[in-house]
Structure 1
Amino acid sequence: MKRMSLFEFEDFRWFPGGLRECLTLYIAAMHRVLGTERILAPLLARALEAAATDRVVDLCSGGGGPLLQTTARLEADHGLRPDVTLTDLYPNTDAAARINAAGDAARVRYLQNSVDAGQVPDTLQGVRTMVCSFHHMPPPVARRILQDAFEKRQALCVLEISDNSQPRWLWWTAIPAGVLMVLLLTPLIRPLRLRQVLLTYALPVLPLLIAWDGAVSNARTYTEEDLRELLAGLEAPDYQWEISHPRAPGAPATMLTLVGLPLRTQASRPEPGVRQEA
């Protein structure tokens, strides 16, 4: 596999919760700037239709990521208002309180108990989404996530903002660019707290942490070839995998998506396997 097994600070259980929250809020702001919801919404609309469900279970949600913007675009562009459940191995308690306080009007709730993406409880049914989080999973866990969705015929949408197609050495040049991005994007973070500002500009801990995690996440992203290796043997006439490399309007590079879809009718069943989309 081209994917490299490296560490990101936010993966560690000991990583301070305050810093973890700052990182996840920054990531949410970055998704808004990149327009990730413009890529995710049509994928999710297809998956909801294929699975004949109105429920979404987001795994590794962090601070909420782009799911709130995605639900708004789903309603505006596709007329869909699914019930969305956000989950995380280390739930962001502040984000959970803020999102849950919005009430049923948003149709989004954040579970405050820990949920392991590799062992999704059977009580959580619906289209599973993983946005910029699949690369955190080592190959055995990543395989288990794919296999569980396949065996239970649950739709799955994986989106990574990097496709890891560049030479390995090039990713490390992203560290200085990452530091600059943090300095520029921090004023766009909502809610923007004093801690985030101080740890960005007065004591620049966050720019270094985020730049490292960003460069490493690029190197840890599964390539299309890696995904095909993970999907070996997960084939059936009533389930289809699709891999694509979309680009959001104005985004600097292509993204990588993997979608698993249950097929309900004989007429809609293509040859089993992995489908390539442009």
Structure 2
Amino acid sequence: MKRIHLFELEDFSWFPGWLRSCMTRLIVTVHRTLGSSDELAELLARALKESSSARIVDLCSGSGGPMLDVLERLNEKPGLEGVTLTLTDLYPNAEAARSINAREGSNVSYRTSPVDATELSGETAGLRTLVSSFHHMRPEGARKILESAQKSRQPICIFEISDNSFPAFLWWTALPVNFLMCLLITPLARPVTARQLVFTYLLPIIPLCFAWDGAVSNARTYTLGDLDELLRGLGDEGYRWEKGVIGGRMKKIYLLGIPTRPAGSGD
């Protein structure tokens, strides 16, 4: 595989929750800048309709990423008005969960107990999504996620905005770009807290962490060729896989898994 599995700071359990929240808010801002919500909504609308699903289970949600915006777009589409969204994470964002779960009559919820994307239970029926998070998984974990979706006959969508098109040894060149990006987009993040401003512009801890994790994300991203390796031996008469690149302000990689026969119908 081309990818390099370096460490990301956000992967560690000891990484401060407030710092993780600041960084995930920046990631949401990046998605909005790149127009990810519209592209994701089109992919998910197709997956929902083809699989006859009415529920999305988002894995590795962080602060929610672009999925809240995506759900609004989906609910505006005919036949998808009743689609619901459940956000999950191995390290649930307590602040985001409180805010989301406090909304009365909402079709979005945030599960407050940890959910390991590689060890899913029967409670995760519905369209599984991993948005800018699949690269966190080592190949064995990534393969388990794909196998689980196919075995349980649940649709899945993987969507990455990281760019792993450069030669592998140049992964570090994204560090200064990401540092500068953090400085530029912080005023656009919502909500912008005093802590986020202080540790961005006075003590640049957030830009340093954001620069490192962003550069490592690029190096970790599964290329289309890497996905072929992960998918080797998968796919059968009851399940199909589709991968590709979506153009736009930045090329994004996606992988769709869609059941062609419902669970429990036999092989």
The interval holding the TM-score normalised by the smaller chain is over 0.9
Does the 8 A contact of 1:59 with 1:130 survive in 2?
yes
1:132-171 Cα deviation digits (max 9, x unpaired): 0000000100000000001111100000002412212333
Report what 1:263 is aligned to: 260
1:94-150 Cα deviation digits (max 9, x unpaired): 011111122223x11000000000011211210000000000000100000000001
Q: Mark the CA change 1:79 to 1:50 in structure 2 (over 3 Å): closer, same or farther.
A: closer
Does the 8 A contact of 1:62 with 1:92 survive in 2?
yes
Other structure's SS at 1:114 match: coil
1:169 aligns with 2:169: yes
Normalised TM-score (structure 1): 0.91
Normalised TM-score (structure 2): 0.95
1:15 aligns with 2:15: yes
Q: Kindly provide the amino acid, as one letter, of the partner of residue 104 in structure 2.
A: G
1:69 aligns with 2:46: no
Counterparts of 2:75 and 2:86, CA distance in 1: 16
Does the 8 A contact of 1:96 with 1:112 survive in 2?
yes
Counterparts of 2:148 and 2:77, CA distance in 1: 30
Superposed, 1:76-115 pairs within 5 Å as 76-78=76-78, 80-81=80-81, 82-105=83-106, 107-115=107-115
Does the 8 A contact of 2:100 with 2:108 survive in 1?
yes
Report what 2:247 is aligned to: 247
Gaps of 5+ in 2: 263-267
Does the 8 A contact of 1:163 with 1:222 survive in 2?
no
Superposed, 1:136-175 pairs within 5 Å as 136-175=136-175
Q: Mark the CA change 1:67 to 1:245 in structure 2 (over 3 Å): closer, same or farther.
A: same
1:14-44 Cα deviation digits (max 9, x unpaired): 1111111111111111111111111110111
Report what 1:236 is aligned to: 236
Q: Kindly provide the amino acid, as one letter, of the partner of residue 66 in structure 1.
A: P
Counterparts of 1:176 and 1:86, CA distance in 2: 32
Q: Mark the CA change 1:226 to 1:78 in structure 2 (over 3 Å): closer, same or farther.
A: farther
Counterparts of 2:209 and 2:78, CA distance in 1: 38
Counterparts of 1:244 and 1:264, CA distance in 2: 23
Structure 1 residue 79: deviation in Å?
5.0
Does the 8 A contact of 2:153 with 2:261 survive in 1?
no
Counterparts of 1:206 and 1:23, CA distance in 2: 7
Structure 1 residue 264: deviation in Å?
3.9
Structure 1 residue 76: deviation in Å?
2.9
Gaps of 5+ in 1: 266-278
Does the 8 A contact of 1:163 with 1:254 survive in 2?
yes
Does the 8 A contact of 2:3 with 2:168 survive in 1?
no
Does the 8 A contact of 2:88 with 2:110 survive in 1?
yes
Q: Kindly provide the amino acid, as one letter, of the partner of residue 117 in structure 2.
A: A
Q: Kindly provide the amino acid, as one letter, of the partner of residue 222 in structure 1.
A: Y
Structure 1 residue 50: deviation in Å?
1.9
Does the 8 A contact of 1:59 with 1:129 survive in 2?
yes
Report what 1:274 is aligned to: none
Report what 1:38 is aligned to: 38
Other structure's SS at 2:114 match: coil
Report what 1:217 is aligned to: 217
Structure 1 residue 51: deviation in Å?
1.7
Counterparts of 1:51 and 1:224, CA distance in 2: 24
